[in-house]
Amino acid sequence: MTDTEDRSFPEPPAAGDETATMLGSLERQRATFAWKCGGLDAAGLQAKVGASSMTLGGLLKHLALVEDYYFTEKLQGGEMGPPWDAVDWDADPDWDWHSAAEDTPEQLMTLWERAVDRSRAAIEHALEHGGLDQPAKFTWPDGRTPSLRRMLIDLIEEYARHVGHADLIRESVDGLVGEDPPR
């Protein structure tokens, strides 16, 4: 049994409001991603498919970075902590992807889970202090400032894309397929 199989699988509400539906969709994507990455050893997390250099370990580290970047830095205006603050991103813009091979499965899963926990707290705070219309603490180059609503949609898209990658990689590792973990 993987560490995600004993949890109830989140779903967006069948007829919820906008916030509950978006958060439910994001949590479903996160849970599916955790299921696809769960229970593997280092070799499983470093497996590749075809010509791609993408691995499940790289995906875990990349999505941990995305979670922190979106909600610590962009939404809250804070500074990201370790390990992100020690990376020379100009010299190595893909550090999150390839450095994952140096981490254990436990380190990768913990890094991602903690980033998700920080994101949940940041989202909850923003919802309490401005709702989905809460503006981020940054602007795009064209001067527009996205709302929490837009950032959540962007993160749902990011997860949906990478869950598709995780599906293919995980199937190549041990044949695990499906949309939802066993209930």
Estimate the crossing angle of helix 105-128 against helix 18-37, to 10 degrees.
180
Task: Tell me, rounded to whole angstroms, the distance of Cα 93 from its chain centroid.
Answer: 18
The answer to whether position 133 is within a domain reads yes
Smallest CA-to-CA distance from 146 within 154, 156, 136 is with 136
- Domain membership of residue 83 (yes or no) is yes
- Is 8 within a domain? no
d(CA 37, CA 3): 10
Q: Rounded to whole angstroms, how far apart are CA atoms 155 and 29?
A: 10
Mean pLDDT to the nearest integer, 66-91: 96
Helices (H), 18-94: 18-37, 42-46, 56-68
Indicate yes or no: pTM above 0.85: yes
Mean pLDDT within 102-114: 98
- DSSP at 89: T
CATH number of the domain where residue 89 is located: 1.20.120.450
Count of beta carbons in the 10 Å neighbourhood of residue 33: 24
Contact predicate 116/67, CB 8 Å: yes
Q: Which of 63, 42, 46 is nearest to 54 (CA)?
A: 46
For residue 144, give the 3-state DSSP assignment.
coil
Q: 3-class DSSP state for residue 112?
A: helix
Q: How confident is the model at residue 183 (pLDDT cuts 50, 70, 90)?
A: low
The whole-angstrom separation of Cα 5 and Cα 38 is: 9
> How do residues 122-172 score in pLDDT, each as one tens digit?
999 999 999 999 999 999 999 999 999 999 999 999 999 999 999 999 999
Could you tell me if residue 114 is inside a domain? yes
Position 8 pLDDT exceeds 80: no
In a domain, 64, yes or no: yes
Whether the CB-CB separation of 124 and 103 falls below 8 Å is answered with no
Q: How many domains does the chain have?
A: 1
Which residue in the block uniquely carries the two structure tokens 């837009």? 150
Q: Which domain holds residue 70?
A: 18-174
Cα(first)–Cα(last) distance of the chain, in Å?
A: 11
